[in-house]
Structure 1
Amino acid sequence: MNLFAWLRSAAPILDARQKQRLENLAICAPTNQNPLRQQRWVVLDLETSGLNLNRDLVLSIGAVVIEDGAIDFGQQFERTLLRPDHKLSPSVLLHGLGPSAIAAGSEPVDALLDLMEFVGDSPFMAFHAAFDQHMLTRALKDSLGYRLQHRFLDVAEMAPMLFPHANIRHAGLDDWTAFFGLQAGERHHASADALVTAELALILFSHARKQQIDNPASLEQSLSQWRRRQQSHSFSRSWHAIE
């Protein structure tokens, strides 16, 4: 047996209907220079069995849509993924996902196909987006053999970039919701966290427009420049500490 073939994970087994759905999934649209309010955004939150990027699993998915400059409550997504063989951890219990909730969940293949059909060609937004992006990318690859190419915008980066005077750059979602006086619903629940993230994003979009950041392309460019400044400042502080 070829060693590299043995090391590769087995290809997902999909039935004909699932294969057809997979083939029909939309490709993410390129970044555009239309006003922010004209862009459809899918605000995503994942609840996982833990924080290990390579071992833990996606347990539930929540998503809401920002469209026409507002949260569209007619477009919401929520799924608990069926994980009958997964041992419950304290993290699972924190999310309120007990054995009955997980046992009543959807098969991962169908749940993930449902999600990507819901997303269409829209970009994602999330709080600490790198984690959600990595976990969703791995789940899609393992369950569908699908390569995720949709863009992710990180609300946890937008907030300190647009409100540097808040001085809470490394803060969590609770800190920013408190800063803006938002009323968070049930925390550590995918749908509730996605909703409060969307509310936070709308506040940030409004402030971005006041800074002449009024389209997805300029927002991504501003975030890229902000990251480079943060990295430069971090390197400078480290160098002075060594001296």
Structure 2
Amino acid sequence: MSKFTWFSGRGPALTQLQLQRRGKLAEPCALDERPLQQQRLVILDLETSGLNMRRDQVLSIGAVVIDNGAIDLSQQFECTLQRLDHQASASTLIHGIAPSEIANGEEPAEALLSFMEFVGDSPLLAFHAEFDQRMLARALKQSLGYRLRHAFFDVAEIAPLVCPKANLPHAGLDDWTAHFGLQVQQRHHASADALVTAELALILFSKARQQQLDSLPALLQQLNSRRRQRAHSM
């Protein structure tokens, strides 16, 4: 048996063990009416080589878990992906990951398999989630031939929805952390950003419950309604 299995076209080459692991990845769970405090949620942050979602690459992944209404520090994920052709750029000044660290990182297929095993069937949260979702989906497709179908929630959308009086409609993560007085250990570091995003999410979930938005479907319904209102006002 060959060590590698080649997919047609420009698909990735994976070992038999990697194929088996990919085949065992959990199907994403359907959103249900359980209270937010009973959900397992994975809070994700990516550091990338740039902001071009078609060209740039995922360099590191950081994630923490909210489970039973609290951040479970026993469930954390952190990984730097190997990119042999990576060179220092303007983005290096932001994320601070040295080219040598990236060259010695974990092979992308292994890193991404480990991350999706960590995620399991849980929904994902991120700040400005569209970027993380699209970058992760492209990395998974390129390295694993895997289609990402997990639900994503954007903390940057939830915040103004449940805190309209904050008057921060287009605020960034720094603005919201300052608004709630949260301490950030290290900005533009995937694990640190994931942790502070999780802290912010817990505050927002508490406010959501006070507004009878105590499930993921209820939150999604209100987010969709807000999107439609904004689209009609443009």
TM-score range, shorter chain: over 0.9
Report the Cα distance in structure 2 between the residues aligned to 1:40 and 1:91, rounded to whole angstroms: 32
Report the Cα distance in structure 1 between the residues aligned to 2:105 and 2:128, rounded to whole angstroms: 25
Pairwise CA distance, 1:92: 2.2
Report matched runs for 1:140-155 at 5 Å.
140-155=140-155
Alignment match, 1:201: 201
Alignment match, 1:11: 11
1:29 aligns with 2:29: yes
Report matched runs for 1:71-220 at 5 Å.
71-220=71-220
AA aligned to 1:111 is A
Alignment match, 2:4: none
Alignment match, 1:46: 46
Identity of aligned residues (%): 63
Aligned with 2:182: secondary structure?
Answer: coil
Report the Cα distance in structure 1 between the residues aligned to 2:92 and 2:148, rounded to whole angstroms: 25
Pairwise CA distance, 1:110: 0.2
AA aligned to 1:109 is A
Check conservation: 1:31, 1:216, Cα contact below 8 A. Answer: yes
Which blocks of at least 5 consecutive residues in structure 1 are unaligned? Answer: 1-7, 236-243
AA aligned to 1:183 is Q
Report the Cα distance in structure 2 between the residues aligned to 1:230 and 1:174, rounded to whole angstroms: 24
Aligned with 1:90: secondary structure?
Answer: coil
Check conservation: 1:95, 1:188, Cα contact below 8 A. Answer: yes
AA aligned to 2:80 is T
Check conservation: 2:86, 2:99, Cα contact below 8 A. Answer: no
Aligned residues: 227
Pairwise CA distance, 1:103: 2.1
Report the Cα distance in structure 2 between the residues aligned to 1:180 and 1:195, rounded to whole angstroms: 15
Pairwise CA distance, 1:222: 1.0
Check conservation: 2:61, 2:79, Cα contact below 8 A. Answer: yes
Check conservation: 2:83, 2:102, Cα contact below 8 A. Answer: yes
Aligned with 2:47: secondary structure?
Answer: strand
The RMSD of aligned alpha carbons is 1.0
| Larger CA Rg, structure 1 vs 2 | 1
Post-superposition CA distance 1:130-172 (Å, at most 9, x none)? 0000000000000000000000000000001111111111110
Aligned with 1:222: secondary structure?
Answer: helix
Report the Cα distance in structure 2 between the residues aligned to 1:209 and 1:203, rounded to whole angstroms: 10
Alignment match, 1:70: 70
AA aligned to 1:34 is R
Which blocks of at least 5 consecutive residues in structure 2 are unaligned? Answer: 1-7
Check conservation: 1:92, 1:98, Cα contact below 8 A. Answer: yes
Q: TM-score scaled by structure 2? A: 0.95
Report the Cα distance in structure 1 between the residues aligned to 2:211 and 2:131, rounded to whole angstroms: 28
Post-superposition CA distance 1:101-154 (Å, at most 9, x none)? 112210000000000000000000000000000000000000000000000000
Check conservation: 1:28, 1:122, Cα contact below 8 A. Answer: yes
AA aligned to 1:229 is Q
Q: TM-score scaled by structure 1? A: 0.92
AA aligned to 1:208 is A
